[in-house]
Amino acid sequence: MVAKTIDSDAHVLENPYTWEFIEATHKKYTPLVVYGSEARTAGSGNIQKEYWVIDNRLQPKEANVGLDTAQESREMKDIAGRLKHMDELKIDVQVLYPTIFLRPLTLNVDCELALTKAYNRWLAEISKKGSGRLPWVACPPLYSMDKVRAEMEWAKDNGACGIFMRGLECERRLSDPYFNPLWEIAGDLDLPLCLHSGTGAFQVHDFFAGDSGFSRFKLSVVSAFHELLWNDIPAKFPKTRWGFVEVSSQWLPYVLNDLGLRFKRRGKRLSANVLKDNRMYVAVQVTDDLKQIVDLVGTDNLVVGTDYGHNDTSSEIEALRLLKTNGQLPTAVVDKILGDNARALYGLN
């Protein structure tokens, strides 16, 4: 059966079982859970008591937990329960993204390899139990570029439908030639590069520590969109597809206007249909001015997600239903965003 309603951004929340998939030779990198001496209020409003210890750094474990979901469902301990909740929400398919990898975790090559491989194997197990309804976005070991192709091939063979990225990676901008092999791999494997709200650069993450999360997590992805087009990277890698997830779409008018002005100074013209011509897809939020966005970029390259399992400004567990009922867009356009466009981005049936 062809999925009609696809949640293009749903999350899993890692738990100690996730790290049981770490290989024996890398067990020393297993993340540990520790408890604070007193509870604190996280930026999301959640009570923060638990932390991960990863490569001798504390990482918040509860800072972005959506309490409108059952713990067993968001941590994938009860996959049948997760599927039942999807039925209640009238969602056919959820594309699964990580939680812990939204922030930089380590500069240690072996530690990163251990964590990404373990996470991918955990998701493969989940996907196999998901009756075809839980495809997932795989985490590449970017500090081990020589191992990325084999790992992404394995991931695709085990249910992955995309490659997880953040707006900055390995303390580098995405225009850095370091990533050229990854762009080739993604095109060869027919896996989209999924740039999700987040950053993989300690320099930026730590500089903006204590902010609302907007600068640390959102703006790096918007900047990456601009930089990829400015450097003609989609044109240089014509087999790649690109997704920009959990950063809304409301920035598109500003960024495309800015790019148009800069291209004009180069004696070039920005494509009239930038997203389609560059195989780029953007996840909207139901609070966006969707009529304006559709008028600007058309209807073929927009998707939507619930941010299932999280509790932040992008979270709307009823997003797919609201898109159908809020009257902003015609039914035929909504159906494309929920179905055809998501299938095209992720290569789903």
Fill in the DSSP letter of residue 22: S
The owner of tokens 């990482």 is 59
With contact defined as beta carbons under 8 Å apart, do 291 and 297 qualify?
A: no
* pLDDT tens for each residue of 48-60: 789 999 999 999 8
Q: What are the structural domains of the chain? A: 6-15+66-346 (3.20.20.140)
Mean pLDDT of 133-150: 98
- Locate 324 and state its tokens: 């159908």
The closest of 69, 104, 71, 109 to 89, measured between CA atoms, is: 69
Non-local (6+) Cβ contacts of 171 within 8 A are: 107, 200, 201, 202, 203
pLDDT at 344 > cutoff 90 = yes
Range ranked top by mean pLDDT from 46-50, 159-163, 306-310, 320-324: 159-163
Helix (H) or strand (E) holding 173: strand 172-173
The region of weakest confidence among 49-63, 119-133, 141-155, 221-235 is: 49-63
pLDDT of residue 43: 55
pLDDT at 145 > cutoff 80 = yes
* pLDDT tens for each residue of 1-17: 566 899 999 999 999 99
The region of weakest confidence among 64-68, 175-179, 266-270, 314-318 is: 64-68
Q: How far is CA 298 from CA 1, 207, 236, in A?
A: 27, 37, 23
With contact defined as beta carbons under 8 Å apart, do 10 and 96 qualify?
A: yes
Mean pLDDT of 70-80: 95
pLDDT at 169 > cutoff 80 = yes
Mean pLDDT of 203-232: 93
What global pTM score does this model have?
A: 0.94
Q: What are phi and psi of 280, to 5 degrees?
A: -105, 140
